[in-house]
Amino acid sequence: MPEELCHFIGGKTVAGTSGRYGEMFNPTTGEVAARVPFASSAEVEAAVTDSAKAFPTWAATSPLVRARVMFRFKSLIEENMDELAMLISRQHGKVLSDARGSVQRGLEVVEFACGIPHLLKGEFSDNVSRGIDLYSLRQPLGVATGITPFNFPAMVPLWMLAIAVACGNTFVLKPSEKDPGCSLRLGELMVSAGAPPGVLNVITGDREAVDALLTDERIAAVSFVGSTPVARHVYATAAAHGKRVQAMAGAKNHMVVLPDADIDQVVDALMGAGYGSAGERCMAISVVVAVGESTAETLRERLARRVRDLRVGPPTDPKSEMGPLVTREHLDKVKGYVDLGVEEGADLVVDGRSLRPEGHESGFFMGGCLFDHVTPDMRIYREEIFGPVLCMVRATSFEEALDLVDRHQFGNGVAVFTRDGDAAREFTHRVQAGMVGVNVPIPVPLSFYTFGGWKQSAFGDANQHGMDGVRFFTRTKTVTSRWPTGIRAGAEFVMPTLK
């Protein structure tokens, strides 16, 4: 019998009561691993109510005390790293090394949040006018919510909740219904770290739960990561209900390869960035732009050989370089894009659609696919595939390659590989994307900088983590203060000015 998961509300597991469930699969075997309760609007309201009750006490807790909770939370994540990584591998399909790496990147944001006493420091100006001081405070918003994707079951929730909670907010997390186990475990670890019940609640569900969160008047801020169509809905709905919103959306990340690039380095980078985590990353490289025919031919030959040799297998096998996709539905979608690319006239150099690892024929596996001679009018170029499919586009010049990147609807991440510092600097300054890598294929910033894309890759003005995260989960209060001195200046009827 499949396991039946629960919500995590008020510091304890709570069985679902809506009567609606979804199935969570083991992507390696294709079997149903658990039933996931889909929260009703009433269940969401109960979770928000619990977080709203917890907010005043948590907000009034000293930032020093909140930092100590975050330090203990960090330690507990480190102690349970293997368990969290195994949950991710079993429920999502990442190979174990990648799963551990994703938890580590989330943990780095927890480490950043441990510095919250410093991060919340305001400004002070002494004696701006006769006996008047001016200062600012950063204060929490109230109840915040995070709606997170299936591809990073630990990292993205930690990006959101660590900073929100450290800033003094309470948080309702709605993870993907495809693999919520890691988020539920993080809820337990937060309570074990000393956070009062209700500071972090976790509910599982589908669109009904999401819409209930987006429209609840007690939710002050919404953080989202997912596809562009859903991000648009989240942004528009939450903003219409008066909430702050940061919505990270889809991507089609390009790597521009200039003729002077180290091709061996490029191929290594593309293998990891294009096929790591089965391409199920919003920062995956899904388009390589080869500048010059010689560059393209050399790159095609070396890439094809490596893609054919890609070791695809169970995620817990140390020999596996790539595991399965998350669900049968998603596997069929990705294969459908490969079919479409062939129909559109792209050259399918490596076809991984028929791959079936021995002993795991029912799992959601496919091999790496490589297209060449892809053109900007093709859907496989325009749309996010979110699978192990790499498209090669050929450009004749630096300017043509840069123009390709800039004209694409998405602007999440981009990379350029070159030995020419002048070309790299020119590219970095002119390219229309939020995150740029120079000889770095996946330029995800560290926790003390911010993560966010441009164009249709992000909605809202604030990025994830770093100081943008602190600003997003707090609001500024400015205080003008004067204490009686025994000297009365009389009533003034003009706008106060400096004297």
Active site (catalytic) residues: 282
Rounded distance between C-alpha atoms, residue 93 and residue 310, angstroms: 16
**Structural tokens at position 265:** 């380095």
Rounded distance between C-alpha atoms, residue 14 and residue 202, angstroms: 10
Element (H, E) at 174: strand 170-174
Residue 6 · residue 14 · CB < 8 Å: yes
Q: Across-strand partners of 287?
A: 254, 391
- Using DSSP's 3-state secondary structure scheme, residue 43 falls into helix
Rounded distance between C-alpha atoms, residue 146 and residue 225, angstroms: 8
Cα distances (angstroms) measured from residue 392 to each of 155, 288, 334, 456 = 29, 5, 17, 22
Residue 458 · residue 477 · CB < 8 Å: no
Rounded distance between C-alpha atoms, residue 65 and residue 177, angstroms: 33
The residue type found at 389 is V
- Using DSSP's 3-state secondary structure scheme, residue 171 falls into strand
Residue 397 burial class via C-beta count within 10 angstroms: exposed 0-12, middle 13-18, buried 19 and up: exposed
Rounded distance between C-alpha atoms, residue 47 and residue 210, angstroms: 13
- Using DSSP's 3-state secondary structure scheme, residue 93 falls into coil
Task: List, in sequence order, the alpha helices (H) in 167-319.
Answer: 181-192, 207-215, 228-240, 263-275, 293-308
Which DSSP symbol is given to 39? -
Cβ neighbours of residue 301 closer than 8 Å, sequence gap 6 or more? none
Rounded distance between C-alpha atoms, residue 202 and residue 213, angstroms: 12
Closest listed residue to residue 36, CA positions, set 8, 71, 66: 8
Element (H, E) at 390: strand 389-395
